[in-house]
């Protein structure tokens, strides 16, 4: 029954124009992406500091259409980056799709796109393009996926990280839980319990809550199988274990956060950028005796937060050809000071100086010839 209901909901969602999804995602981002002001200032300061010293220098005569397909988590970020880029390059037009990393990888491999309408959410574009220029993925492509791309095109895709993110553990605002560790997260969400010792955790008392909370059942929320966030969470938090059947899987991060905000007994996982005033992020520890840490620009960049991750853009470029100028210019912008400031304003974390340097070296080569892809 759950699968039938989910399939029905997804069927209904597919009938909604792509630009409506973007408006909803941006609305959720703008109204719900509240954070501690000090953390926002820290991320912006990092993006504006000497770490990212290169100002964007617009190349003349750049125009054309770019379609970015992929991650639901990255859709608001890509829309903001596209809008910021078009302020410098008004002849460029963008379409941004967010049906999920795993769903969009097949489109990218085959050169397809589900978008057929103008991208009204960012105020540009008329007709949807028939192929995805860039794949936005909240996880790196697997070896099998790269092999599938190679079998279709004869060469590997080029991929670069464009921002840092963290998968956060969310609860309802009224939930007093002070911390969780990865062993407990595995005990909550996993059917295979590769980290956890003993049985599946089903009540809030089993993770330390007392009094009226102790006997209350735990309601699990997560993302569906089309999500790259789901695969990242399963791989890192559950050590490639299987998710428990009790997880109520949602088609998007915004819908998951909304569900958690309406259920005092809920716990779920989603990108940190979807934090809203209606839910709370739980400090997370690697092990039972380790300090529990909130995701922040510092804890993500230094690797202390257990569920930190890069976010990627992949481009389909034939080694014998040049990178599409508008795509190359957009990637150059993303790695500039202005691009990384946009990343911070979108509630993600800027790249480190080492990542920026590696990206620019790769892009510099691929404006003319392809080099080994980043995976």
Q: Are residues 52 and 90 in the same domain?
A: yes
Render pLDDT for 293-326 as a digit per residue (tens, 0 to 9). Answer: 999 999 998 999 999 999 999 998 888 888 899 9
The CATH number for 253's domain is: 3.40.190.10
Q: Are residues 157 and 182 in the same domain?
A: no
Last residue of a domain, one of 249, 274, 301: 301
Instruction: Please check whether residue 372 lies inside any domain of the structure.
Output: no
Residues whose CB falls within 8 Å of the CB of residue 11, separated by 6 or more in sequence, listed in order: none
Q: Are residues 109 and 179 in the same domain?
A: no
Question: Would you call 65 helix, strand, or coil by DSSP?
Answer: strand
- Residue 2: exposure state from Cβ atoms within 10 A (0-12, 13-18, ≥19): exposed
Rounded distance, CA 82 to CA 50, Å?
24
Q: Are residues 23 and 160 in the same domain?
A: yes
Instruction: Please check whether residue 5 lies inside any domain of the structure.
Output: no
Q: Are residues 39 and 148 in the same domain?
A: yes
Instruction: Please check whether residue 6 lies inside any domain of the structure.
Output: no
Instruction: Please check whether residue 9 lies inside any domain of the structure.
Output: no
Last residue of a domain, one of 282, 301, 320: 301
Q: Are residues 275 and 186 in the same domain?
A: yes
Rounded distance, CA 320 to CA 125, Å?
30
Render pLDDT for 122-166 as a digit per residue (tens, 0 to 9). Answer: 433 333 444 678 999 998 998 999 998 999 889 999 999 999 999
Q: Are residues 120 and 191 in the same domain?
A: no
Rounded distance, CA 238 to CA 243, Å?
8
Q: Are residues 107 and 52 in the same domain?
A: yes
Rounded distance, CA 167 to CA 222, Å?
11
Q: Are residues 170 and 296 in the same domain?
A: yes
Instruction: Please check whether residue 317 lies inside any domain of the structure.
Output: yes
The whole domain housing 263 covers 165-301
Q: Are residues 270 and 215 in the same domain?
A: yes
**Once rounded to an integer, what is the mean pLDDT over residues 254-282?**
96
pTM for this model (two decimals):
0.78
Last residue of a domain, one of 276, 301, 326: 301
Strand (E) positions, the chain? 64-70, 92-96, 134-137, 158-172, 180-181, 219-223, 248-250, 266-271, 279-281, 284-285, 308-315
Instruction: Please check whether residue 7 lies inside any domain of the structure.
Output: no
Rounded distance, CA 58 to CA 325, Å?
12
Q: Are residues 72 and 145 in the same domain?
A: yes
Instruction: Please check whether residue 11 lies inside any domain of the structure.
Output: no
Instruction: Please check whether residue 8 lies inside any domain of the structure.
Output: no
Q: How many domains, in total, are found in the chain?
A: 2
Contact status, residue 139 vs residue 74, Cβ threshold 8 Å: no
Render pLDDT for 312-367 as a digit per residue (tens, 0 to 9). Answer: 999 988 888 888 999 999 999 999 999 999 999 999 999 998 999 999 888 876 65
Contact status, residue 191 vs residue 199, Cβ threshold 8 Å: no
| pLDDT for residue 28 | 35
Question: Would you call 266 helix, strand, or coil by DSSP?
Answer: strand
Name the region of 247 (left: φ>0; alpha: ψ -120 to 50; beta: rest): beta
Residues whose CB falls within 8 Å of the CB of residue 136, separated by 6 or more in sequence, listed in order: 68, 69, 70, 71, 74, 75, 77, 78, 98, 101, 104, 311, 312, 313
Is the predicted pLDDT of residue 11 greater than 50, yes or no?
A: no
Q: Are residues 283 and 318 in the same domain?
A: no
Contact status, residue 336 vs residue 122, Cβ threshold 8 Å: no
């Amino acid at each position: 029954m759950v699968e039938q209901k989910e399939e029905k909901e997804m069927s209904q969602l597919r009938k909604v124009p792509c630009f409506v999804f973007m408006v909803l995602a941006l609305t959720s981002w703008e109204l719900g992406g509240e954070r501690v002001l000090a953390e926002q200032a820290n991320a912006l300061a990092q993006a504006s500091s000497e770490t990212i010293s290169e100002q964007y220098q617009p190349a003349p005569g750049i125009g054309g259409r770019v379609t970015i397909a992929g991650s639901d988590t990255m859709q608001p970020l890509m829309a903001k980056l596209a809008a910021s880029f078009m302020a410098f390059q008004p002849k460029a037009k963008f379409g941004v799709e967010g049906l999920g990393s795993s769903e969009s990888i097949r489109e990218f491999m085959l050169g397809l796109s589900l978008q057929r309408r103008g991208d009204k959410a960012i105020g540009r574009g008329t007709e949807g393009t028939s192929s995805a220029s860039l794949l936005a993925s909240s996880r790196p492509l697997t070896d099998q996926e790269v092999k599938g791309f190679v079998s279709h095109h004869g060469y590997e895709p080029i991929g670069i990280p464009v921002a840092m993110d963290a998968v956060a553990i969310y609860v309802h605002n009224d939930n007093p839980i002070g911390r969780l560790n990865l062993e407990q997260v595995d005990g909550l969400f996993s059917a295979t319990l590769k980290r956890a010792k003993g049985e599946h955790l089903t009540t809030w008392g089993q993770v330390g809550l007392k009094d009226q909370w102790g006997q209350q059942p735990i309601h699990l929320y997560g993302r569906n199988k089309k999500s790259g966030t789901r695969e990242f969470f399963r791989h890192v938090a559950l050590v490639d274990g299987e998710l428990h059947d009790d997880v109520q899987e949602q088609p998007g991060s915004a819908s998951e956060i909304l569900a958690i905000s309406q259920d005092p007994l809920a716990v779920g996982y989603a990108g940190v950028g979807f934090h809203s005033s209606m839910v709370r992020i739980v400090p997370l520890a690697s092990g039972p005796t380790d300090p529990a840490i909130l995701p922040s620009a510092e804890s993500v960049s230094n690797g202390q937060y257990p569920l930190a991750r890069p976010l990627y853009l992949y481009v389909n470029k034939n080694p014998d050809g040049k990178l599409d100028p508008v795509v190359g210019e957009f990637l150059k912008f993303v790695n500039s000071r202005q691009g990384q400031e946009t990343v911070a304003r979108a509630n993600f974390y800027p790249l480190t100086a080492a990542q920026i340097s590696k990206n620019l070296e790769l892009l510099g080569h691929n404006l003319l010839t392809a080099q080994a892809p980043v995976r």
